């Protein structure tokens, strides 16, 4: 349930409600606005409903929530969340541009790419050190050495860095290097991983699973927020359908739907969503129009010789043209794109 406190409810009134909830065995999660405070309650439904909360001092309304997710919903927090990743912001008036190679291959490759995307206007550097591959014989990434190279490149250009966590056992190690931790599509319902990331308190980029519903991705995000980590960004990266022309089907309707259902930022990944570099730019424009808070694109200095996802990777020149194209479009809806060179 959600408990909506009256405008400017006192700290004593709020603390009294929280104390009663904890006494009944419930968890209380506070969302404090400038005027209102909303308390999200997680616990035994029958016990919670038996409490006479409506008459408590400072309580305006008690709302029974039937959705399986609570903390991520706009019922709990009507205002948009802005997630800060180092010097970058995702959400609000900013349109985030996350760019970099699918996988780290060499020191020269990742450094040249980082410098190119920074000059073009990227706000966050992305790259894979641990790579989940369908084939066990495909390139699996450089592991910890890849993390080190990514961190060095990010520091060189002054950008925060996001990379994927593949295994809960590696979460703390990856968190030592990364500013943001990515949960890939295959791990979206790895609940042990999500619970661990809820405890780590690092911003999380949660990708939608290949066959996940909107409710399922929101429920996955709920695991992280329930653990205490409110800095979660959702990513639509394409779902598996009957279509074979594109790698996946980029579901931009889900972006618009998620923006109505959750206060969390939502971005799109047209690189994985289409698998074709010629479709990345138009899908970035479409994502912006659909209300996305940013895009994540793959950029490689030599896509033809990339060890992973070359056909969907932009060259640095293509990426620079993309950012230049997005800036005037974003200004129409009151957003700023990337960093100025």
Q: What is the pLDDT of residue 67?
A: 79
Q: What is the pLDDT of residue 57?
A: 92
Q: Which two tokens stand for residue 125?
A: 């550097």
Strand 88-90 and strand 180-183: pairing? unpaired
Which residues fall within 8 angstroms of residue 112, CB to CB, at 6 or more apart? Answer: 301
Cα separation, 141 vs 333, whole angstroms = 39
pTM of the model: 0.87
Q: How far is CA 313 from CA 8, 69, 102, 288, 297, in A?
A: 51, 35, 8, 19, 7
> What is the per-residue pLDDT for 210?
95
How do residues 298-341 score in pLDDT, each as one tens digit?
A: 999 999 988 888 999 999 999 999 999 999 999 999 999 975 44
pLDDT for the residue numbered 131:
63
d(CA 148, CA 130): 12
Is-contact 175 181, C-beta < 8 A? yes
Q: Is the dihedral of CA 221, 224, 230, 232 positive or negative?
A: negative
Q: Cα separation of 248 and 252, whole Å?
A: 12
pLDDT value of residue 341: 40
CA dist 257 → 118, 206, 215, 266 (Å): 31, 16, 11, 10
Other beta carbons within 10 Å of 246: 17
Contact 163, 114 (CB under 8 A): no
Query: What values do phi and psi take at 24, rounded to 5?
Result: -85, 5
Alpha-carbon Rg for the chain, nearest whole angstrom, is 21
Q: How far is CA 93 from CA 97, 162, 222, 334, 336, in A?
A: 13, 21, 24, 7, 6
Which residue numbers in the chain have pLDDT < 50? Answer: 340-341
CB-based contacts of 45-49 (< 8 A; 24+ apart in sequence)? 45/1, 48/1, 48/21, 48/24, 49/1
* Cα–Cα distance measured from residue 283 to residue 185, given in angstroms and rounded to the nearest whole number: 19
What is d(CA 249, CA 230) in angstroms, rounded to the nearest whole number? Answer: 29
Q: How far apart are CA 264 and CA 92, in angstroms?
A: 10
Using alpha carbons, select from 299, 300, 309, 320 the residue that is nearest to residue 274. 309
What's the distance, CA 89 to chain centroid? 11
Distance CA 78, CA 259 (A): 11
Cα 23 to Cα 3, 17, 134, 225: the distances in Å are 16, 10, 48, 22
């Amino acid at each position: 349930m959600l408990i909506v406190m009256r405008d400017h409810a006192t700290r004593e009134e709020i603390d009294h409600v929280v104390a009663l909830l904890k006494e009944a065995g419930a968890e209380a999660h506070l969302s404090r606005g400038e005027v209102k405070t909303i308390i999200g309650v997680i616990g035994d439904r029958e016990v919670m409903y038996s409490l006479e909360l409506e008459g408590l001092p400072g309580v305006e309304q008690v709302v029974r929530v039937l959705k399986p997710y609570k903390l991520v919903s706009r019922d709990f927090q009507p205002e948009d969340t802005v997630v800060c990743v180092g010097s970058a912001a995702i959400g609000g008036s900013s349109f985030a541009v996350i760019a970099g190679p699918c996988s780290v291959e060499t020191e020269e490759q990742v450094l040249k790419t980082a410098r190119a995307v920074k000059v073009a206007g990227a706000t966050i550097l992305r790259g894979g050190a641990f790579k989940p591959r369908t084939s066990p014989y495909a390139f699996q990434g450089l592991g910890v050495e890849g993390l080190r190279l990514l961190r060095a490149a990010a520091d060189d250009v002054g950008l925060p860095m996001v990379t994927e966590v593949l295994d809960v056992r590696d979460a703390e190690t990856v968190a030592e290097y990364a500013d943001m931790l990515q949960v890939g599509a295959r791990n979206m319902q790895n609940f042990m991983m999500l619970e661990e990331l809820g405890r780590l308190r690092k911003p999380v980029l949660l990708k939608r699973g290949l066959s996940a519903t909107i409710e399922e991705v929101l429920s996955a995000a709920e695991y992280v927020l329930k653990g205490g980590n409110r800095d979660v960004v959702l990513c639509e990266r394409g779902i598996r359908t009957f279509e074979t022309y594109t790698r996946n089907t980029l579901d931009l309707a889900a972006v618009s739907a998620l923006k109505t259902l959750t206060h969390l930022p939502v971005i799109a990944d047209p690189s994985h969503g289409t698998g074709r570099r010629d479709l990345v730019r138009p899908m970035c424009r479409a994502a912006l129009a659909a209300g996305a808070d940013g895009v994540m694109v793959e950029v490689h200095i030599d896509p033809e010789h990339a060890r992973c996802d070359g056909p969907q990777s932009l060259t640095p020149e293509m990426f620079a043209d993309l950012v230049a194209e997005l800036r005037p479009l974003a200004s129409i809806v009151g957003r700023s794109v990337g960093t100025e060179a």
